[in-house]
Amino acid sequence: MTEDREQKMDRNIQQKYWRRAKIVSLILMLAPFVRGVFLNGSLAKGEATEKSDIDFLIVAQKNRLWTGRVFATLFVHLTGLRRYDDKIAGRICLNRYQATDFLTISPKDKKNAVYHASTKILWAEGNIAADFIAQNQWMQKYHCQINIKPQKNIIRHFTRPFQFAGEFLFDLILKDWGEAILKKYQTNRILADPRTKKSPLGAIFLSNKELRFHPSKDIDK
């Protein structure tokens, strides 16, 4: 009886966290340069508990990865649901960013294949979902495969003009040097963070096409 009650509780928690993930992902439709939001981690695998966080993979416009991260972080923070410090349970963890011209999950090892094979789509523009699947066929080597279906989202037609306005203003005023400044600022902060120095090798990865903030101990879950 106790086990059945715990399983029912976990299902309720998962449904609650799924609703939360969908709502936050819709808000991210307004974030400049964000082109898609995917769900991974324990919630995507159907294993989330009350203590679990909600792992997001953010797809950002090419050449605007660092800018997209700033806006995504800001928008999620404004919802009051961003994971930071000891605020973990039910919070959004922005642990991976991919540029639209590089959707390959790396490193290409078994841990990543198993972890990301359960990835779910919350929304994505155009062919991003199909490209994400195509660029990660390498997972079949480990008998894993991403199985997501592109979805049409009517809300996107209403949010896109507002997002475009923000992007237009950013590019009009700051252009590429705005991206460079944000990259330098974020890189300095990340590298100076004591948690970065304590993280396992490869847990933190920074480039113009991919950002990873996912300790290997979390991938082992």
Q: Examine the pLDDT at 5 and tell me if it is beyond 80.
A: no
pLDDT confidence of residue 3: 56
Q: Examine the pLDDT at 220 and tell me if it is beyond 60.
A: no
**Cα separation of 198 and 201, whole Å?**
9
Residue 45 pLDDT level (bands cut at 50, 70, 90): very high
Query: Strand 92-99 vs strand 120-124: parallel, antiparallel, or unpaired?
Result: unpaired
Residue 149 pLDDT level (bands cut at 50, 70, 90): confident
Query: What tens digit of pLDDT does each residue of 153-208 get?
Result: 889 999 999 999 999 999 999 999 999 999 999 999 999 998 888 888 778 999 99
For 13, other C-beta atoms within 10 Å of its C-beta total 18
The token pair at 20 is 């939360």
Residue 69 pLDDT level (bands cut at 50, 70, 90): very high
Residue 1 pLDDT level (bands cut at 50, 70, 90): very low
**Cα separation of 13 and 146, whole Å?**
24
Place of tokens 């894993």: 144
**Cα separation of 116 and 212, whole Å?**
13
pTM score of the predicted model: 0.92
Letter string b/e over residues 70-106, b meaning 16 or more CB atoms within 10 A of that residue's CB: bbbbebbeeeebbbeeeeeebbbbbbbbbbbebbebb
Strand segments (E) across the chain? 34-40, 54-60, 92-99, 120-124, 204-206, 210-213
pLDDT confidence of residue 6: 65
**Cα separation of 41 and 36, whole Å?**
17
For 49, other C-beta atoms within 10 Å of its C-beta total 14
Is residue 216 within 8 A of residue 203, CB to CB? The reply is yes
% residues pLDDT > 90 (the chain): 81
pLDDT confidence of residue 20: 97
Per-domain residue ranges of the chain: 2-214
Q: Smallest Cα–Cα separation from 96: which of 201, 209, 214? A: 214
Q: Examine the pLDDT at 81 and tell me if it is beyond 80.
A: yes
% residues pLDDT > 70 (the chain): 92
